[in-house]
Amino acid sequence: MAEKSVGTDSLAMKTEEKYVGKKFRVAFIGCGGICQTHMAALAEMPDVEVVAGVDILPERLKAFQERWGVTKLYKDWKKMLKEVRPDGVSVCTPNGVHAAPAIDALNAGCHVLGEKPMAMNPAECEKMIAAAKKNKKKLVIGFQYRYHPHTQFLKRARDNGEFGDIMFVKCQALRRRGIPNWGVFGQKKLQGGGPMIDIGVHVIEMAHYFMGSPKPVAASGNTWTYMGNKLSKVVCPWPNWDHKTYTVEDLAIGHIRFDNGAILQIEASFVAHIEKDIWNFSFMGTKGGGQWDPPMLFADHHDTMMNSTPYFVGDQTSFDTLFAIKLRNWVDGCTKNTPLEAPGEAGLAVQKMLDGVYRAAAAGKEVAIK
């Protein structure tokens, strides 16, 4: 054990020495909406310099340059990697273009932060992980909700044995009317799916993380499209989505079975006929249960059924703050060799669950997750 510790410390020292007096040079592949949130976080980090941006749309590159002052702009990420040679790359493209630039960046000797979901399918995820290992580079997936104070509180309670064995988790990522009216969120060929892969992925991920990351072994479920592919006159916050190119599901319901016998249920929708939007997970264990929002614990104490609400779990709950935390973890992991909270393996596990639900829906029966 001591020898391993010395080796780890030595690697950390070499990593830190590389960046002494130097900034961590980051390039973006994909300069659209989510890139701006990344940039806002990195702009507050004095040890980071954004050196290049890649996008297929000239207007996005122009806006990126005007807002952030980045002058090295490219349409081709391979050319950028060859000429700029950044230390790290943030991939902020549509889902269908996550794997290829990430693999190319890793092979070019760059650390990579990939936005969620990790890729379009588990096979792409495995290629990304293999490239990271081959080139001894860091690969992190953008799962910011595992850093949320509610998630961290429940994880601490689980680690301390508060709930016993987790038997069932119910995840909900439901919008009453919230089909994105920008980007390519409605195009299955580019996104891989609809609400399940876009917003359900976050709640699945933080719940799976809370559970202790058990191994998924089987999935069942179904998907329905009943509104997104039709013209709608209903007044809503996000009107006028592109119904003509809409090929994803409106609602997905799935069950994931794990190797320890636990079950995770996921409900994800862009257009659910419900009272209001829901973003939550709840769970039942052999010794206690609880829920994410508001954070509560349910257990028996002093021969009495108790509902416990924490007084304070942390105030870092804003979207921008969570992004800053996850980006800081990536930068520190790359420059100081500190532990990565959401490595590629976490992304692969989530991708297997997403893929399992979609395959089960297509097959009309439970499918194995290998």
Q: What is the pLDDT of residues 288-323, one digit of tens each?
A: 999 999 999 999 999 999 999 999 999 999 989 999
Reported pTM: 0.92
On the question of pLDDT at 2 being above 80, the answer is: no
Same domain for 151 and 129: no
Looking up residue 38, the CATH number of its domain turns out to be 3.40.50.720
From the CA atom positions of the chain, what is the Rg in Å?
A: 21
Element (H, E) at 278: strand 278-285
Average pLDDT over residues 179-202: 96
Helix axes 2-18, 319-336, angle to 10 degrees: 110
Range of the domain at 138: 2-145+323-343
Render 24-42 in DSSP notation, one character per residue. Answer: EEEEEE--SHHHHHHHHHH
Q: What is the pLDDT of residues 247-262, one digit of tens each?
A: 999 999 999 999 999 9
Render 165-205 in DSSP notation, one character per residue. Answer: SEEEEEEEEE-SS---SSTTTT-HHHHSSSHIIIIIHHHHH
- Mean residue pLDDT across the chain: 94
Same domain for 158 and 71: no
Same domain for 88 and 39: yes
pLDDT category of residue 18 using cuts at 50, 70 and 90: confident
Same domain for 155 and 39: no
Class of residue 236 by CB neighbours under 10 A (exposed 0-12, middle 13-18, buried 19+): middle
Q: How is the chain split among helix, strand and coil, in percent rounded to 5?
A: 40, 25, 35
Number of domains in the chain: 2
Same domain for 217 and 181: yes
Same domain for 301 and 200: yes
Same domain for 364 and 295: yes
Same domain for 210 and 88: no
Same domain for 158 and 104: no
B/e letters for 144-183, b = 16+ CB within 10 Å, e = fewer, are bbbbbbbbbbbbebbeeebbeebeebbbbbbbbbbbbeee
Same domain for 70 and 13: yes
On the question of pLDDT at 8 being above 60, the answer is: no
